[in-house]
Structure 1
Amino acid sequence: MEPVSQNNLAAAPARTKRRLLGGLFVLCLLPALQTALHMKIFRLPAVGFEPPRRRPGFSWQALRAGTYQDSLEQYATQKLGFRYWLIRPRNQVRYTLFGESSTPEIVSGKRQQLFERGPLQGYLNRQRQVPETEIRERVRLLRALQDSLAQRGKLLVFAIAPAKPSFYAELLPDSCQPLGQPARNYRLHAQSLQAAGINLIDFSALFKAWKATSPYPLFSPGGTHWSGYGVTRAADTLFRYMEQRGHFQLPAVRHTGMEISRQPRSTDDDLARILNLLVAPAVPLAYPTLAFDPPHDGQMQPRLLLVGDSFGYSLFESYPYLQRLFAPDSHFWYYNQEVHYPRSSPAPRVSSLNLREQLAAHDVVLLLFTEHNLVDFDHDFSRQALTALQAGR
C-alpha cells in the first residue's frame, strides 16, 4: 500500500473547501440562470394570489424620494428564480409554528380559523363610527323607498349577511379586543331598520342562533363567507321570507343529499388560498345537493334586482338560485357600481343605466350587505332610487 504523504493530507481539506465554495457559487448562480433562461422545469407556481409587478420606470424624482429603489427591489424579488419553491414552506412555518399570517389582510385566530381584516375592523369598532343621526336618515330614505316600491306592487327586502369575526368571536386572537361593545355600526343599523318596519332579515343574529345546533360548520376555517352549507340555510330562509312578504310562490328547491368533504369548494378557502400554504386548514364541510323544480304551468318567476357585496355571489355561483328561481332578466349589481350578473366584459357601470327603467323592470329588490359594510349602508342606492322614481311623477 502506498504511504499517504503529508502533502496529500494537507491538500484534502483544500480540495473540500474548493468543492464547497464551488457548490455554493452554483447555488447562488442557479436562481439567476433560472430567471434569465426561463427554465420551466424548475418553476413551481404558487397557489395564492400575488399580483404581478411591473418594472418601475426610472425618474430622478423617484430616485431621490427612495420610491424607485423600493419598487425595483419588489419587482426583482418577484422575478427571483426558485422563489415559489421556498415561499410556501416559509409561509407554512410562520403559520404552523407561530400562528402568523403572511399577509396583513388576514389574521390567524384560534383553532386554525382565518379572519379577514376588513370584517375584523368592523367588529372591533376600528372603522368609521357612523353617527346615529346619519343612521336614522339612511333608514328613513330606505323606508320611503320601500313604501314607494310597494305602491307599485314591488317588494324590497334588506338582508344583513353575517361577519365571521362576530360569529366566531371566541376564536379571535387574544390581541383582538373591541373598543367598547363590539360591532357598533351593525347593532345600531339593525336596531334602526327593525324599528322603522323595514323588511329585514338579520342573518348575523340568525347564524348565531343556529350556531349551537347546526350539524355542520356555517363558516369554514379558511373562508370569510358563509360556508356551502351556510348559504343553503340562508337562502332557504331568505326565499321563504320573500314568498311570504311578496305573496308569490317560487319554484320548489329540494334537498336530495349531502356531500361531506375536507376539500373546500367555492369560497370556503378564499382566505387560505391567499395565504399560499403547503397545507391549508381544513375540517369536514357539508355541501347539500339540490334539485330545482321547473316552474309549474302559470307560475310567474319574479325578476330580482340584487344589490350587494361579495356575499351576493353565493346566490348564483355557489348554487344557481338566481338562475333557477327568478326570471332570466334578473341582475346583480355589485356594490351598486357594476353589473356582475349576467356577466359581460367589461362589466356595465350601474351609473350608465336608466335607474327608473330598471326599477320598473324588476319585481323584487334585495339589498344584501355584510355587517362591516354597513359603514356605507346601501352605497347610496336608496337616495338614487327615490330620486329616479320621483323624477318620473
Structure 2
Amino acid sequence: MRKEGIKRWILGFFMVIITYPIIETFIPVRLAGQVNRADLTSNLLPFNAETWFSGDFQSTFERYMNDNIGLFPLFIRIHNQIEYTLFGNTYTGNVVEGKEGYLYEQIYIDSYFGEDFKGLSVIEKNTAQLKELQDKLESKGQYLMFCLAAGKSTYFPEYLPYSQEKDSTNYEYYSKEFVKQGVNHINANPWFLKMKDSLGYLLYPQYGIHWSHYGAMLVTDSIVKYMEKGTGWDLPNMAITQLNYSPVARYYDNDIAHSLNLFYEVQPEPMIYPDFEWRGEKGDKPRKLLIIGDSFTWDIFENSRIGEECFHNVQFWFYNQTVHRDVKTEGSENNGLPTLTRHLDFYKIMQEYDAFLIVSNEPNLSSFGWGFAKDALSILEDPNYRPRERNNEYLRDQAKNKKEWREALTHQAKERDITLDSMINIYLHDPNYTP
C-alpha cells in the first residue's frame, strides 16, 4: 500500500510538471516571470475574418504560443544563464561579451574598425550640405549644431573581444571635415577620453551600450554652453550640486544587462547619479529646440529637464522618424503610438524653432543625420516639398506587433469603421493623418 501511495505521488508530480506549462499559457500565473523585450514579438491579433484571411492572425498566434507557453521565460533564463556564466555567450540581438565581462553591441565594434566606412567623397558632400543648412539658418537668426556622441568601442578599446587592423572610419573623417568646413559641433570622444583616467566606467558603464547618465548630463551642459557661445543667447545653465553613488544602476546605465534575461541582473560598480539644478532665467523670448537624434538622446531628452528649465519647448525626432514631446523619467520612454515626422508641417517647424541639434553615435554616421539636412534644405527652398518616406516595413511591423501601437490603431479603425490594415495604411501614408 505504501508503494502504491509513492507511485501516486510520483505520478501526480509528473502530471503537474507536464500540465503546468499548458495551465500557465491560458491562466496568467507567470511564476517564471517574463522575457524582456518580448512585447515587441508576442502580441496576439484579434481573431476575425480580416486577420484570418490575411494570414496575420496565424502568424501572430504562432509567435504568441512560442513566446508565451508556460515556463518559456524559465527555460530561456536557464539557457541564457548557463551560456553566459560558463561560456560568456549572450543571446540578445548583436550583443557580444568583451574582456573582463564588458558588453558591446557588434555594430559599434564594426564601426570602430571602419567596416561601415562610406568613403571620403560622401562624407565631404554630406558635411557641405550640413554647412549649407547651417549658414541658411544662421542668416535667419536660427542655429544648427551637431553632437558626435562618444562611442564605447572608442572609449574602451582595451576590452573589445578581439582586435583587427583598423581601417578608415566615418567618425574619423566626419570629425575632420566638421573642423575643416566650419560646422558647429561638439565631439564627445576626445573629451571623454581626457576624463577616462579619473572617471573610467562612470562615463561608460560596463554593461551599458550608451554613455552613462552622468556622462549624458555633462554632455547636456556642454551643448547648452556651446550654443550660448555660438548664438549670444543667455540660457539657463546646469549646475551639479551633489554626486550620489548608487550600487544599483539606474536610467539606461544597465540597458544591455537588463535585456540578457538572466536569473539575476549583473550590476556594474557603483555609478554616479548627480543632483543638479538649472540656474538663470529662460528670458522673455520663448526659445524652442528641435533635436534629431538616436538612442543616445533619450537620457538628455527625458532626464536633464532641458525642455522644462532651459528652453521653453523641446521636441525630439527619434531617428528623424517618430516625434516625442512627452517627457518620461528614470529611463522610461513613451511607448504609445507616436506621431511620425511625415505627419507634421515640416516647413512650419523650420520657421518656428530657434535651434536644431543633431545627435549621432558612431554607427549611425553611416546614415548621416537620417536625411534631415537634405530635407530641411529642400523644404526651405520649396514649402510644398515632402520628404521621402522611410522604413515603412519596420513601421508596419511595429504597428501590428507593438501592443500600444496596435491598440491605438485598432481603436482608430473602429471609430472610422475600417479595417486595421486600412488604418495602418492611413497612418503610414496619409499626409493629413490625425489621431
Length-normalised TM-score, structure 2: 0.75
* Cα-Cα RMSD: 3.0
Structure 2 residue corresponding to 1:377, chosen from 368, 393, 397? 368
Equivalent residue for 1:245, pick from 215, 227, 230: 230
The corresponding residue for 1:134 is 122
**Gap runs ≥5 in structure 1:** 1-7, 58-67
In the alignment, the residues of structure 2 paired with residue 138 and residue 373 of structure 1 have an alpha-carbon distance, to the nearest angstrom, of 14
The amino acid across from 1:32 in the alignment is I
Change over 3 Å in CA distance of 1:324–1:332 after alignment to 2: same
State the distance in 2 between where 1:92 and 1:217 align. Answer: 26
Distance 1:15 1:349 in 2: 65
State the SS of the aligned residue for 2:148. strand
Residue 347 of structure 1, CA deviation: 2.3
Secondary structure, aligned partner of 1:380 = helix
Give the corresponding residue for 1:32: 22
Please name the residue that 2:152 is paired with. Answer: 164
Residue 322 of structure 2 contacts residue 338 of structure 2 at CA under 8 Å; is this kept in 1? Answer: yes
Structure 1 CA distance for aligned equivalents of residues 300 and 28 of structure 2: 43
Distance (Å, rounded) in 1 between the aligned partners of 2:351 and 2:58:
55
Q: Aligned partner of 2:114: which letter?
A: N
Deviations 1:11-49 (A, max 9, x none): 96x98778656644442233233335x162x52322622
Query: Are the structure 2 counterparts of residues 135 and 186 from structure 1 closer, same or farther at C-alpha, using a change threshold of 3 Å?
Result: same
**Number of residue pairs the alignment of both structures matches:** 365
Alignment of 1:309 onto 2:298: no
The separation in 2 between residues aligned to 1:22 and 1:348, in whole angstroms, is 54
Question: Quick check: 1:125–1:182 contact (8 Å CA) kept in 2?
Answer: yes
- Give the structure 1 partner of residue 219 of structure 2: 234
User: Which residue is 2:359 aligned to?
Assistant: 368
Larger mean Cα displacement after TM superposition, 242-251 or 211-220: 211-220
Evaluate the alpha carbon distance shift between residue 207 and residue 22 of structure 1 in structure 2; reply closer, same or farther with a 3 A threshold. Answer: same
Alignment match, 1:106: 95
The corresponding residue for 1:88 is 77
1:335 aligns with 2:319: yes
- Contact 1:333/1:341 (8 A) holds in 2: no
Instruction: Answer yes or no: is 1:256 the counterpart of 2:241.
Output: yes
Q: Is the 8 A contact 1:216 1:286 kept in 2?
A: no
CA contact (8 A) 2:214 2:273 kept: yes
For the residue of structure 2 that corresponds to 1:263, the secondary structure is coil
Given that 1:43 and 1:84 are in contact with CA atoms closer than 8 Å, whether structure 2 keeps it comes out as no
Three-state SS of the structure 2 residue aligned to 1:48 is: coil
Distance in 2 (alpha carbons) for counterparts of 1:75 and 1:357: 43
Give the drift of 1:74: 5.4
The amino acid that maps onto 1:130 is K
Mapped partners of 1:135, 1:145: distance in 2? 15
> C-alpha separation between the residues in 1 aligned to 2:160 and 2:239?
36
Aligned AA for 2:262?
L
Deviations 1:128-180 (A, max 9, x none): x3122111111111111111111111111111111212211111113xx34x4
What is the match of residue 359 of structure 1?
350
**Counterpart residue type for residue 372 of structure 2:** F
Task: Identify if the C-alpha distance between structure 1 residues 81 and 338 changes in structure 2 by more than 3 Å, giving closer, same or farther.
Answer: closer
Question: Matched residue of 2:339: which SS?
Answer: coil
Deviation at residue 318 of structure 1 after TM alignment: 2.5
Unaligned 5+ segments in structure 2 are 47-56, 328-333, 384-435
1:291 counterpart (266, 271, 277):
277
Matches of 2:318 and 2:363, distance apart in 1 = 16
Contact 1:252–1:293, Cα closer than 8 Å, also in 2:
yes
Q: CA deviation at 1:70?
A: 10
Question: Match of 2:50?
Answer: none
Matched residue type, 1:195: K
CA contact (8 A) 1:315 1:322 kept: no
Q: Over alpha carbons, which structure has the higher Rg?
A: 1
Which amino acid in 2 is paired with 1:383? K
Q: What is the one-letter code of the residue matched to 2:21?
A: P
Letter aligned with residue 321 of structure 1: I
CA deviations 1:230-261 (Å, max 9, x no partner) are 11221222211111111112113221211101
Equivalent residues of 2:115, 2:167 under 8 A apart: no
Q: What is the distance in 2 between the residues matched to 1:391 and 1:39?
A: 55
Q: Relative contact order (C-alpha < 8 Å, sep 6+): which is higher?
A: 1
Conservation of the 8 A alpha-carbon contact between 2:236 and 2:310: yes
Query: Which segment is superposed worse, 163-172 or 210-219?
Result: 210-219
Question: Aligned letter for 2:213?
Answer: G
The alignment-based identity, stated in percent, is 28
Superimposed CA distance per residue, residues 313-341 of structure 1 (whole angstroms, 9 cap, x where no aligned partner) = 2112122123211113x321111122112
The residue number in structure 1 matching 2:180 is: 195
- Partners of 1:259 and 1:203 lie apart in 2 by 23
